[in-house]
Chains A and B, each alone.
Chain A
Amino acid sequence: MIHARGLVKRFGDFTAVDGIDLEVAPGEAFGFLGPNGAGKSSTMRMIGCVSTPTAGELRILGMDPVREGPAIRARLGVCPQTDNLDPDLTVFENLTTYARYFGIPRVEGRRRAAELLEFVQLTEKSGSTVEPLSGGMKRRLSIARAMINEPDLVLLDEPTTGLDPQARHLLWERLFRLKQRGVTLVLTTHYMDEAEQLCDRLVVMDAGKIVAEGSPRHLIETYSTREVVELRFGDDAPATYVEKLAGIGERLDPLPDRLLLYSADGDAAVNEVHRRGFTPSSVLVRRSTLEDVFLILTGRTLVD
């Protein structure tokens, strides 16, 4: 579906995407994970054929995005980072009008619009304008709009950023259903749980480069340990404990508010901390997540 080699995007002196290689297969849910400014959105815009690559090779659905943009876009569904729904139209018209841009006949457009509103659970809002809808509803409408042309490939740029937990879960569930239908999903996110929930495979991006690639499980197993212990020491700076706890687990990462201790056996590590005579104000043993992978790979947390 997507093939990229040495893909580069520069804006003046600034290099947003710095030579990345990608391969996305049909039916896959593929994720770009990284902090703001990592180059995820620039990559998505190139894949969406609204931004021309500065250098490198890019093929979407086997076509050249520069010369065959309209033909590619006819088969893409795009859900942008910030909703750009049409405020002058009703919910239903947002879909039927969009259908016309793809040359879908009116009757067929109306049929699909009704079906998609059902799918994203907005049927009762059909005649409303867009403005009074909640953030989650708007995002669902954007996703319905992205599906109006029955796309082979759906691009979702931070689909749940800014939504409350309930709205996120509803959206994930709908996206998961799309995936079950065999739609290829490509999404960006800076949420670990989102990537773990939705993605079969992902790349971790930082400063325009891909720093790791694989399934969420594979990335965790490769770069992190099975368990992570989060230790807090009241008002003491966590960094001061790095030396004192050296040798426990496989790795120690001091954050401003807590110390992360990577270990295959979290409980054993905690016992060792106590045995050395330290009493943290709080102890949390948890499974390792992609967040930890990102921290290990880049030395920084994802969401500042």
Chain B
Amino acid sequence: MVTTYAVARVARGNRLSPARVGAVINRNVGALRSGPAYWLVLASGFFEPVLYLLSIGVGVGALVGDLTLKNGEVLPYANFVAPAMLAVSAMSGALAETTFNFFFKFKYVKTYDAMLATPLRPMEIATGELAWAMIRGSLYTGAFLIVMVALGLTTPGWALLAFPATWLVGLAFGAVGMAVSTFIRGWQDFDLISTGQFALFLFSGTFSPVQDYPLPVEILIATTPLYHAVELIRGITTGMLSWSMLGNVAYLLVMLAVGLYVASRRLTSVLCR
């Protein structure tokens, strides 16, 4: 509640201009077009989760066989792992943009200093960068969903519903990543981020049901963000919808609101001294 109040207050104070947010996105489209290097980065971001899916989901899945879930449903292992990889891909797509790229623009090439000399406001910059991160992430997840449908790991209908869910995941992680990036002191701090990202990747119910862990661990995992993204997306792609998914959505929305608020506040306090 505190956060919704805070965000509402920011929104009242400076109403966002869609044209100015669009101009920030436009800058990134221009950067994308200007060099082949960026395409390479994009391609690598897509292949990583696909490789995991093939090696673990399909390969290890052949050893594991079918999983019997707590609710009694039986699921082929690959179908269990694939949505988790999709959530991971949404997360890393957004994080790549809002941590590494954001920090580079924030600290080194001073892109945001240049932007702040124009009518752009910090909140508009943060929103534009986040929207771009989501667009980038959705390139990964869209391609990944096509792979899933092709391998029979979900149906086209559920894939269509899962796609916007991956946007939400991208926005939530992107916003938090951006907020964290404003506190980063130097490149060595990125090791911490990657370690954190990897820990989430391994222990968010990605490769095994969280119910298999002791209860305290299960509760601990339930507090971490990727778990909620995985639960939401797995529920959709397997067609096993439940009310608890609303809780997952709420968790991700809070991440989005808090992340965006903190990021724009920090842009202001660091760059507008």
A residues sitting closer than 8 Å to B (CB atoms) are 11, 45, 48, 50-52, 69-71, 73-74, 76, 78, 80, 82, 84-90, 93, 97-98, 100-103, 129, 149
Contact = CB atoms under 8 A, between A and B. Distances in A.
A129 B30 CA distance: 12
A69 B14 CA distance: 11
Contacts of B115: 101
B72 interface: no
B188 interface: no
Nearest to B121: A70
6 contacts: A50-B113, A50-B117, A71-B119, A74-B118, A74-B119, A149-B118
B31 interface: yes
B111 A84 contact: yes
B226 to A, nearest CB: 30
B272 interface: yes
A169 B159 CA distance: 63
B273 to A, nearest CB: 6
A80 B23 contact: no
Contacts of A84: 109-111, 113-114
Contacts of A69: 121
Contacts of A73: 117-119
Given A80-B113, A100-B23, A100-B26, A86 B119 contact: no
B23 A103 contact: yes
A110 to B, nearest CB: 13
Contacts of B271: 50
Nearest to B35: A88
Interface of B: 17, 19-20, 22-24, 26-27, 30-31, 34-35, 38, 109-111, 113-121, 271-273
Most buried by B among A48, A82, A100: A100
Nearest to B272: A50
B67 to A, nearest CB: 45
Contact of B119 (A89, A90, A93, A101): A101
A78 B120 CA distance: 14
Contacts of B116: 50
A226 to B, nearest CB: 42
Contacts of B23: 97, 100-101, 103
A103 B273 contact: no
A55 B247 CA distance: 47
A216 B258 CA distance: 53
Contacts of A45: 273
A78 B117 contact: yes
Contact of A86 (B17, B31, B35, B117): B31
Contacts of A78: 117
Contact of B109 (A50, A87, A98): A87
Contacts of B117: 48, 50, 73, 76, 78, 80
A302 to B, nearest CB: 26
Nearest to B22: A100
Given A11-B273, A52-B272, A90-B34, 20 more contacts: A48-B117, A50-B113, A50-B117, A70-B121, A73-B117, A73-B119, A80-B113, A82-B110, A84-B109, A86-B31, A88-B35, A89-B30, A89-B34, A93-B30, A93-B34, A98-B118, A100-B26, A101-B23, A103-B23, A103-B119
Of all A-B residue pairs in the complex, the 8 with the closest CB atoms, nearest first, are A88-B31, A84-B110, A100-B23, A101-B118, A78-B117, A70-B119, A84-B114, A74-B119
A97 B113 contact: no
Most buried by B among A50, A70, A88, A89: A88
A127 to B, nearest CB: 10
Contacts of A86: 27, 31, 109, 111, 114
Contacts of A97: 23, 26-27, 30
Contacts of A80: 110, 113-114, 117
Contacts of A149: 118
A18 B134 CA distance: 45
A52 B271 CA distance: 11
Contacts of B120: 70, 101
A89 B35 CA distance: 9
Nearest to B119: A70
